[in-house]
A = this chain, B = another copy of it.
Amino acid sequence: MFLTRLRDALTEADVVDDPQIIESYRADHAPGVPAGMPRAVVFPRSAEQVAAVLRAAVAERVPVVPRGAGSGLAGGANAVDGCVVVVMDRMDEIVRIDPLDGVAVVQPGVRNTALREAAAEHGLWYAPDPASRDFCSIGGNVATNAGGLCCVKYGVTRDSVLALQVVLADGSITRLGRRSIKGVAGYDLTGLFVGSEGTLGIITEVTVRLRPLPPPAITVVASMPGLTAAATAVQSCLTTMTPSLLELLDRRTIRAVEEWKGLGLDTSAAALLLAQTDLPGEAGEAEARRLEQTFTEHGALEVYRSETAEEAELLLGARRFAFPALERLGRVYLEDIAIPRGRLADLLAAVERIADRTGAIVGTFGHAGDGNMHPTIVAPWDAPEAGTAATAAFHAIMDAALDLGGTITGEHGVGLLKRHGLAGELDDTARRLHLQIKQTLDPYGLLNPGKALPSMP
């Protein structure tokens, strides 16, 4: 009956119940998070088709799991038993790029990189750049409020989203926000949907702002003698400059990358700092010099500055390989905590203490300039008992971030992975507020049930 309704609303080929195909839509990229068994996977091609799916789901009380490209790291797109997975992949049209307005309108299935490339043809730039940009969707980016490498200067996805078309739980279609940069008529419901991880509605169109393409960046790399020296160098940079990128890799991460890729990194360093400036011309040169100088003042063992745009990009390789390099070493538990900018040294010290205490192997890298770090716990394949230490460390690191005034997740989202951590972050009233809003927008609790939200206080 449910399937019949779906097949009536969508074309035959866009409704799938073949268990073999379904299998590949059960889980996202989060390792070790449970995934249920969907009864169907659908690939709508319009907001109206999404609305029809939701109306059918409400009529028969079928849970609905929205899914973009499935690159999520929190289990947010993981199926729950008996659900319909709504894959937004086939709504992948770039509806319009308007260079004069500095605006693009896209369907949610468009890949981040596809939007960037289309904007670049007009000399424009879509700033948000998650490391997964080649294989994640704009809809998923909006639903998770994805971050990336450029946030330290250009903000997160939320800062680029002007308007959304959304299908609500009851199948009604609405437009939120506007095409102007500014606007304060009504509540910021666009912002409410950004980062809502598929629990409030399904995003069917996204209007984003584009910026002028920045000038080619200069990359500055420094190997640092200690984590504290690295963290205080980051601090110093931020009080006087706004670099366009400011990343850190710790020793274990450097070694994992070096072992795998042989880039010639200094494996004796305690940390590698990677910074970029994209100021134009002489100002860029000057900022690069100040970055070098700041790193040197904080005891850098070696400082290097890129000479060409290609080299600038090449030097980022170490950062781009960080996570896959650690993944090679075993089963990984990827953290995504964020702390106030000034507490980076404290956080890095806390992570070291936690690793010592639990016996977990932790490699840490991430967006140092935003205080958003990815301590990555590795449980070697040949040490099955390492899982216990890893789990203990995973929780302890979240607690440490909260103790420092931070958050359990800076960009990946809560999904299934971090639901229990919410109780430590949100006070009772805030938790109640979340559940009231969810209840108001999704009275039957069908949208992505069991994800992203705290339990009742």
> What's the Cα separation between A321 and B237 when bound, in Å?
38
Complex contact B410–A174 (CB within 8 A): no
Residues of B near A211 (CB, < 8 A) are: 242
**CB-nearest residue of chain B relative to A162?**
B340
Given A187-B192, A427-B174, A180 and B281 contact (CB-CB distance below 8 Å): no
Complex contact A159–B159 (CB within 8 A): yes
> What's the Cα separation between A437 and B434 when bound, in Å?
11
Counting CB contacts under 8 A, is A88 at the interface?
no
> What's the Cα separation between A168 and B235 when bound, in Å?
36
Given A340-B98, A341-B100, A341-B102, A185 and B422 contact (CB-CB distance below 8 Å): yes
Residues of B near A180 (CB, < 8 A) are: 338-341, 370-372, 405-407, 410
Interface hits, A154-180 → B, CB 8 Å = 155-156, 158-159, 168, 172-176, 178-180
Given A195-B188, A212-B240, A434-B187, A178 and B427 contact (CB-CB distance below 8 Å): no
Interface size class of A (residues with CB under 8 A): 35 or more
Residues of B near A341 (CB, < 8 A) are: 100-103, 180-181
Complex contact A340–B239 (CB within 8 A): no
**CB-nearest residue of chain B relative to A454?**
B186
Interface hits, A314-365 → B, CB 8 Å = 338-343
Name the contact of A279 in the complex, choosing from B183, B280, B408, B426 (C-beta under 8 A). Answer: B280
Nearest Cβ distance between residue A189 and chain B, in whole angstroms? 6
The interface bits of chain A over 286-298 (1 if a CB of B lies within 8 angstroms of the residue's CB, else 0) are 1100000000000
Kindly specify which of A59-67, A143-151, A384-392 makes contact with the partner chain. A143-151
The interface bits of chain A over 407-435 (1 if a CB of B lies within 8 angstroms of the residue's CB, else 0) are 11111111000100110011101100110
> What's the Cα separation between A186 and B372 when bound, in Å?
17
Counting CB contacts under 8 A, is A268 at the interface?
no
> What's the Cα separation between A178 and B338 when bound, in Å?
10
Name the contact of A437 in the complex, choosing from B241, B242, B437 (C-beta under 8 A). Answer: B437
Copies of this protein in the complex: 2
Complex contact B436–A441 (CB within 8 A): yes
Residues of B near A383 (CB, < 8 A) are: none
Counting CB contacts under 8 A, is A137 at the interface?
no
Counting CB contacts under 8 A, is A283 at the interface?
yes
Residues of B near A436 (CB, < 8 A) are: 440-441
Complex contact B101–A184 (CB within 8 A): no
Interface hits, A267-312 → B, CB 8 Å = 279-284, 286-287
The interface bits of chain A over 235-276 (1 if a CB of B lies within 8 angstroms of the residue's CB, else 0) are 100111110000000000000000000000000000000000
Complex contact B182–A338 (CB within 8 A): yes
Counting CB contacts under 8 A, is A78 at the interface?
no
Interface hits, A93-119 → B, CB 8 Å = 98-103
30 A–B pairs (Cβ distance < 8 Å), ordered by A: A99-B239, A102-B238, A102-B239, A158-B188, A173-B429, A174-B429, A180-B371, A181-B370, A181-B371, A182-B338, A182-B370, A182-B372, A182-B407, A182-B411, A183-B407, A184-B407, A184-B409, A184-B412, A185-B408, A185-B421, A186-B422, A186-B454, A187-B196, A191-B191, A212-B239, A280-B287, A281-B282, A281-B286, A283-B283, A436-B441
Apart from A186-B434, A187-B437, A212-B240, list 12 A-B contacts with CB within 8 A: A102-B239, A180-B339, A180-B406, A181-B370, A182-B338, A182-B407, A184-B407, A188-B192, A189-B437, A211-B242, A280-B287, A436-B440
